[in-house]
Amino acid sequence: MRIGTLEIPGGLLVMPAFVLVVALLLLWRWYYYSKQASEMQSMAASRGWKFLGKDSPELRLWLEEADTDLDNRRDWTRENIILVEGPPDKVYLFNYTARSYGGGARGSTPENGTACLAERPHGEPRELVMIYRRSRLLGELEKKLLDDEVEVGGPEFRQEFLVRSRRPDVAVATVTPGLQEVLLRQASSLMWDRVWIAGRCAFVTVTLRLKPEEWDELLGMTKRLRAALP
């Protein structure tokens, strides 16, 4: 590149541009997470909830108990944890980043979102059951790609949702008519991503940014799921 009589090698311009892009991305990341933390703290203060901050050993133990999917391990980073209810039966709201590791491979692109976890300390530890919304895009192909899908529930429920577990008997016992009703009622409102049930707790993840009124929907849904567990 020539500026007047001065010729500048192109490579010298690429590096500053790259550094600028990286700096802008880091600045945006800092702004996004700072704003997220501020919003969570403000919400906790306005509702009389307890803001725990970056981590809670008890919540970490609950997640380790719930996430027992050995074929797709996740490293969970919990941020902006709020204790909404309890004790004795605690309910948490928190932001998270989850990076999956399948079969010892390197971590995939991290998933960021918001979750609500409701304890049921007197329940029994059980095999993980996960419930997803069915993909309209994949259709029947989705069934062929999965080897742990469990056929459970009525026709309307099976059309809307996919249930996965390594223990079909546990899935059938867990996904009760009452639990199916909770999910069917919630299907057209809050765009939740996944429901995790592991006997002693239920939690719901949402990967879209929540509006203020949707926090109450997420809380209500998670507590109704807990109440519907056998």
Q: Note whether 68 and 81 are within 8 A (CB).
A: no
Per-residue confidence band for 41, with pLDDT thresholds at 50, 70 and 90: confident
Q: For residue 165, is it left (φ>0), alpha (ψ between -120 and 50) or beta?
A: beta
Amino acid letter, 228:
A
pLDDT 10s digits, 77-95: 888 999 999 888 899 999 9
Per-residue confidence band for 22, with pLDDT thresholds at 50, 70 and 90: low
Q: Note whether 207 and 112 are within 8 A (CB).
A: yes
pLDDT 10s digits, 69-79: 656 667 788 88
Quote the tokens at residue 118. Answer: 């409701």
pLDDT 10s digits, 139-166: 555 555 566 788 888 889 988 898 988 8
Distance separating alpha carbons of residues 15 and 29, to the nearest angstrom: 21
Helix axes 177-186, 212-228, angle to 10 degrees: 170
Q: What is the pTM of this model?
A: 0.78
Question: Averaged over 134-141, what is the pLDDT?
Answer: 63
Question: Averaged over 200-204, what is the pLDDT?
Answer: 87
Closest by CA position to 77, among listed 111, 107, 43: 111
Domain ranges of the chain: 2-45, 49-228
Q: Residue 19 in 3-state DSSP?
A: helix
pLDDT on residue 14: 59
| Cβ contacts of 93 within 8 Å, gap of 6 or more | 40, 49, 81, 82, 84, 114, 115, 116, 215, 218, 219
Specify which of 25-34, 36-45, 96-105, 143-152 reaches the highest per-range mean pLDDT: 36-45
